[in-house]
Structure formats: C-alpha cells, structure tokens
Amino acid sequence: MNGAHDLGGMHGLGPINPEPEQEELTFHAEWEKRALGLTLTAGWLGQWNIDISRFARERQHPVAYLSNSYYENWLAGLETLLVERGVISPEELAQGKAIDPTPDELTEKCAPASAVQGILSSGGPCDLETDIPQTFQIGDKIKVIQFNPIGHTRAPRYVRGHEGIISDYYGSFILPDENAQGNKIGQHLYNVSFDGNQLWGDDNDTTIHVDLWQSYMEPA
C-alpha cells in the first residue's frame, strides 16, 4: 500500500541524521528489548507470518506511524494482530492482563527458553520454487510497473514507473504481496540498478540498487 511507511525518495521530511557510530545502540530503553522479544515470541504462535506482521504496522493511521518510534510501531502492529486473530480480546488489551484462559493449542506452541537461541540463529528460509519461467536476465533493461496496491508490497513507490537494469538474479523466493494475504507463492527475485537521475532528476549522479520480484516489472 502507499502509506506513511513508504518514505523512500520523498521530499520535505528533512535530512536523515543517523547516530554517530560510536553512539549507535541496538536498544535505547529496556522496554524496546521486551517489545522485540514479545513480537518474536508471539510470531511462534503460528497465527501470522512476517509479511502479515509488516502489513499490520503499515495499516496504522499515518499520523500514528510517523509519531511512533521504531519499536512503538512494532508494538502497534502486534496489538492489532493479537486482537484480529482472537489471541486476546480488546478488553484484555485495554486492561493489560488476561481475562479468559489462553487456548491449549496456542500455549503448546510456545518455545521453551532453552530453544530460543537455536531458533533465532537458524532463521527461516524464504526460498520457494516456482513453475513460472524466468523472464529477465542480467543486463536486461526493465521498467517497474506503475501500480498502487491496497495491500502489502515490497516495490518501493519511488521506483514505480522508472527504468532500470537487472544487475543480479537470486532465484525464486516467497512473494511478500501474496504472503501478506496468507498465500505462499514463489516468484523470481532480482536486483535492479537505477540511475539517480532516472528517479530524482539530472543533478543526481548516484546509483540505487533495489531487490524486486518479477511481477513488479516489464521489459523496457
């Protein structure tokens, strides 16, 4: 969807001011650690996947999304999913405590503390085969289709409608747009390079690389 989360290349938001390397912190407060842990733990319940989780954060009101810090957005998305999937009730969320007992089928999915390190270090593969032929080869000129989806997508708004060149091919991976709807579909994934002047005008001499799925593109 086109929302407050998709800010790449937009004007009027001021400069990006990263923290100095010597001051850069993974967490800025103790509650942020808990927010990360809670989000990952809830994901093990099997009620949603990573793209459904991302879409829940994106569906916030733009004012809320832009006002929140990084982990506040994580919490907002998690609260949305927990209520939508019936894991907790709106009343339980408001009171901050359980009212009804958690179903056994959910509690049984909770990983013991001893298994957490192994789960996090192993990750979760996202490659998935597809029967659809590979359309593009390295060096091909492409154009990103101009579309405005109402669901989740990994095609940044600032490259839509612009031309680029295929610079790498990764194989077939889960298409996030469908995964966010609960449909696991594999599709070819490429790295595409764009000239900065294609995206932002003749006075920009940068080169941008973006990973794009095949359905986002057409031959130029």
Say which CATH number the domain at 181 has: 2.30.30.50
Q: Is the pLDDT of residue 112 over 90?
A: no
Of the chain, the end-to-end C-alpha distance in Å amounts to 24
pLDDT in tens, 63-94: 999 999 999 999 999 999 999 999 999 999 99
State residue 13's pLDDT score.
81
Count of structural domains within the chain: 2
Residues 171, 88: one domain? no
SS3 track for 153-164: CCCCHHHCCCEE
Report the predicted TM-score, pTM, of the whole model to 2 decimal places: 0.91
Residue 3 counted as domain residue = no
Q: Is the pLDDT of residue 106 over 90?
A: no
Please name which of 212, 185, 182 lies closest in space to residue 55, comparing C-alpha atoms.
Answer: 182
Please name which of 178, 142, 176, 147 lies closest in space to residue 160, comparing C-alpha atoms.
Answer: 147
Q: Which domain holds residue 185?
A: 141-219
3-state class of 104 per DSSP?
helix
Residues 159, 104: one domain? no
Q: Which own/partner pairs from 83-86 qualify as long-range (CB within 8 Å, at least 24 positions apart)?
A: 84/56, 85/47, 85/48
Burial of 176 (0-12, 13-18, 19+ CB in 10 A): buried
